[in-house]
Chains A and B, each alone.
Chain A
Amino acid sequence: MVQNLEKDWEQLIENLIKEGVLRSPRVIKAMRKVPRTKFLPENMRSYSAVDTPLPIGFGQTVSAPHSPGLQAGLGETWLQ
């Protein structure tokens, strides 16, 4: 599958705006300007725009961009 990571990232931003997570113009601008892709280990890059934490080695994760759509079952709880 050929992925268009830039298009996927933009789609994610639009979803976060629609859900009301992203509100301020400068936060939105920064999310557009700094996609998560460049900060992932190579084998994780294709998951960049998937709204979930991802492993970065050393037992640690990089945060999810974040959609409250993920709050499943825990009331107001978000995954990182």
Chain B
Amino acid sequence: MVAIMNEALQLEVGNKVLEVGAGSGWHAATIAEIVAPSEAPRSEWGHVYTVEIIEGLTEFARRNIMKAGYGDRVTIICGDGSMGYPEKAPYDRIVVTAAAPDIPKPLIEQLKNGGIMLIPVGNIHLFQSLIKVVKSADGKITRENLGGVAFVPLTGRYGHKL
């Protein structure tokens, strides 16, 4: 899934990326290596902001990311990522790593014109659709269904009520 999503995100060096759901921190670190490659000058580096709602996982992800050497390119925030992270918005790319009931409005608002968002949307008792949201240069939204996926549920204000 990480391979599929990183290809579909069309990440570029210098991109500012928001991830909703840090989990282990692995996906964020792979994104960081693409938008801020270790061998590129720091002045060209992008950055990954990843929001995790579970406190214990936030610590787990933070430790993993520091140990792997990506602490300077990934910021881990403990909070409700279903509302995005307005403090650093807008983002070139947004990737949601949990299944949402619908696309949260704040995430669409926090996506830059010309930006791409990937989000699994749908019922949590079956599989969901991986939706690619593209915001055009003039702010128009188009959605494309990339196929079925199975994720853990997104929780929080715009998440599933469990």
Chain A residues within 8 Å of chain B by Cβ, number:
35
Of the candidate stretches B77-85, B104-112, B133-141, B145-153, the one touching chain A is B145-153
Q: Given A34-B68, A40-B24, A63-B23: A78 and B149 within 8 A (CB)?
A: yes
Chain B residues within 8 Å of chain A by Cβ, number:
37
Q: Given A38-B67, A74-B127, A77-B127: A26 and B34 within 8 A (CB)?
A: yes
Question: Chain B residues near A30 (CB, 8 Å)?
Answer: 6, 30-31, 33-34, 37
A39 touching B3, Cβ below 8 Å: no
Q: B88 to nearest A CB, angstroms? A: 22
State the A residues within 8 Å of B (CB). 16, 21-24, 26-27, 29-31, 33-34, 36, 38-40, 53, 56-66, 74-80
State the B residues within 8 Å of A (CB). 1-4, 6-7, 11, 13, 23-27, 29-31, 33-34, 37-38, 54, 56-57, 60, 64, 67-68, 70, 97, 127, 130, 147-152
- 15 A-B residue pairings within 8 Å (CB atoms): A24-B7, A31-B2, A31-B6, A34-B29, A56-B23, A56-B24, A63-B1, A63-B26, A65-B1, A74-B148, A77-B147, A77-B149, A77-B150, A78-B149, A80-B152
